[in-house]
Structure 1
Amino acid sequence: MSIKSMSFLFLVLFCLISQVSAYSSDDIEWESVKTVTLHWGDSYKVDNYVITADDFNKDGYAYITIYKDNVYMTAGALKLSDNVVYRDTANGDDIKVYASALSLKTDSWTGNLIDPTVKVQIYRRGLPDLEVKLNIEKDSYDPTRLSTPRFIEGNVTIKNVGDAKATNVVLNVDTAGLELADGKLTQTTPSLEKGETTKPLAFKLQIPLLWDEEDFKIVAQAAAIDINNDKHVFNGTKTITIRPKSEIILTKSCTGKIYMDQTAYVSLVVRNTGPYALNSVLISDIQTDDLELKDNVQTKKTISVNAQETTTAIEYTLKPIKPGKFTLPKATAKFTVDGKEYTFESDAPTIEINGPYIVLEKKVNVSSFNPGDNVLVTVSVKNEGNRDANVKIEETVPEGTRFVSGVMTFDDVVNNKKPQSFSYVLKLEKEADMKLPATSAKFVDMEGYKGEKVSNMPEIALKVASGQDTTSDGRSGNAGSSSSGKAQASSGTSDEVGQQPGFEAWVLVIALIAVMKFSRKGQN
């Protein structure tokens, strides 16, 4: 082989070796992993490496062997402050073992070592670690508000918080489609030492005008090369919210507190916060069962609202039905753009209604009767409101009945903690189904609020005996039957005692028998 050929071969080999082993152990920035004390024969595992204290001698040496994946890599006889390094030229998984302390006591009689130990610090090749800080001025942007900035302003800084230098640090900012208004979105830094921070990369982004609220995830990505020519990628992210360019603010307000004899005023105010006019905005309000709408006002209305305009869309009044605290339903504003409907809701105001609320209930103790039967009538008086009231009741004796006993008047203060009642007995004399009249009560409270309430009307059916026909007015065809007569006799209230059916026939039979007996005696 000629000298030129050999020179060329050595040059190729040198280039190959240089590419594989681009740095020496002296160039490595080490990261401390663990400090351990090893006795004679002890081992300690770090990642794929095993460090073993194979031997000691009295001259002050500890023999350390390094294995990787159970394969011998290198060894060294370490005195205090010595180290052994294995340079992994293939993968860059370099490791260093440093002897920080030795214990080599000997037996005075035998001269042998007594439990020798070595304290070693284990290092591996340090790596760069880039902290990417992406700073955005605000978390959300609302183009409809004057206080919102004109642009989305941000900046990115990179700090090397790792254990080795980073080179060729390239930064790219992904704006998630937001348009750059000013500044840059890329930056290259030749090298970044441990603890060093790059200059800020500043930028401004346009605020888009959207019909729907949308989130944008901005990503700042930094890529760097380490001493082994390995690439490392690091990210910093920030999500911002862009509000719609037009928004309806619908405010529903209501009188906060009223009395039972007052009315509540409700209004719906619409504000278009955007820079564009909105046409055909449908305002809808839902009514509650707790209050009554007065004057049949329409609670749906279609309006147009100019940019930045505020207008009152609907006004109406409500009449209370009963006392209490109630939450009114939310109203809605809807409009359609490009075939898509947008809906905005109002708040749900509350209203407090004060006053008494009298409830009457009339009961009877029977469901059917015979003429002459007694019935017990009970009237219950309750106040379901939040104010006491004086209640007055004067009952009258219904047609077809007679008063027997009890109390037919009521005059007392009734509150919501204790219902009250009174009772009386009536005799039912009508020979038909009966419907008792409603009880009427008048009330007044300390505020001067007064009113009148009526009860239900209990019904009692006339009993019909088995096999009897019923007339069109509901009376039995033999209302003067023995069963009725016995009931009247037992009650002791009838003016006349009814005759038994067939009485005259029995008298005639007895008279005939007497005549026949007298005739026989005359013949004898």
Structure 2
Amino acid sequence: MQMRIHVCLIVLFAIAICANTAIAASDEDPDWNKSVNYTLYWGDSIEVDGFLIKANDFSKARAFDVETDYVMLTIASDGSDEWSALLAVNNSQIPDSGIFGERMNITAFEVVTGNDIPAPYTKIGVSTLNITEEETGSWINNTISVSKTIYKDTYIDERVFIAVQVENLRNLEFRNVTINETLPENVLADPDIEVDQIIDISPYSKNTIQYSVKALRPGNYTIPPTEIELEYRGVKYHQYTNSTKLVVYGPDIIAEKTATVDENDPQVLDISIKIENKGNRAAYVKIKDEMLTGCVLKEGKTSTELVIFPNKVKKMEYSVTSEDLRANTIVPSAEIYFSDSKGYSDTFTTKKFYILEEEEEEVLEPDVNINEEVQETEEPAISEEDIEYPKFGPIRSVRDIIDNTMRIINEALEYK
């Protein structure tokens, strides 16, 4: 029996030596920040790197200090974790230091509880673990697993569902986890579903955030990774899902209408409507144009029906004549209707615009020397073939006309 007691004492002594060695090694570890000293009176608390340390209680006061004097600390983290620590100095039964939350080391080097002082107090040293970005990334990768999935490709008038799955791999609870989503241009989220969310994640659980999107135009899109942000023990961590591909099918029809005055005949206006399909599906297109008031169709037609394939361009052209084709004439819009084999359809109109006269260039008069004699010359006769008819110039926007008109009005007011 006595032999067994001796063996147990030897084992306990070895464990104590190993524990003290481990603590000493941690103090010398370069990953630990330099220790900072604090004095805590009974009831005092301090905040260090996201931890709240409070001197909650002390051993019973006596006429003088004894080796069994101790301080009871409570340590709470921002992540709602809490620990209790009983620390003493030069006590064979109670340790003088401890590591909490795997990243805070507290060492007591003085505990005073005598009757001759107003309140008991302790002096402690606190150091925190220096967590590198690599360690932070490793920790979050081993804690939270995330993924993003798109269920199928979609059509231009359909919604497609996207699911973000967050899996907790540890026996830890995370509160107020933020889900931040980013969508590319021309892709809109369902307004009835909040894409960016704040959730709580239970230990060893899976959370799925699902929402739908709709593309404004067909094409190939890349949905960027979703960001998952959480805070644990005062440290913020970020985890990102994979990016996903979204293919949207359908036609994308655009149209442009132009009008130019015939160079050989100023009473003839040539109209052109260019149709382009920028989508990835063919479309049936119906064009119906409106002629200018007072014009007569000279050549071509003002409406047509055609089928246009992806990445192709087609034109409808015609000419009109007018004996009174004036400047600042409004060219009306053309109506475009299109549909595809799936039943998707839409109607839109081209932009209206004005035809303006070309501004006359200023003719600079040659310099005349008054000392020189001016010789009179006979003006040559002007034949019918030499007469230049007025021509219409470039097409300008309505905004240009308004700006020019306001300038003339302002100059007139200033002149008065």
Q: So what's the TM-score if we normalise by structure 2? A: 0.50
Q: Between the two structures, name the one with larger relative contact order (CA 8 Å, sep ≥ 6).
A: 2
Q: So what's the TM-score if we normalise by structure 1? A: 0.40
Q: Based on CA coordinates, which of the two structures has the bigger radius of gyration?
A: 1
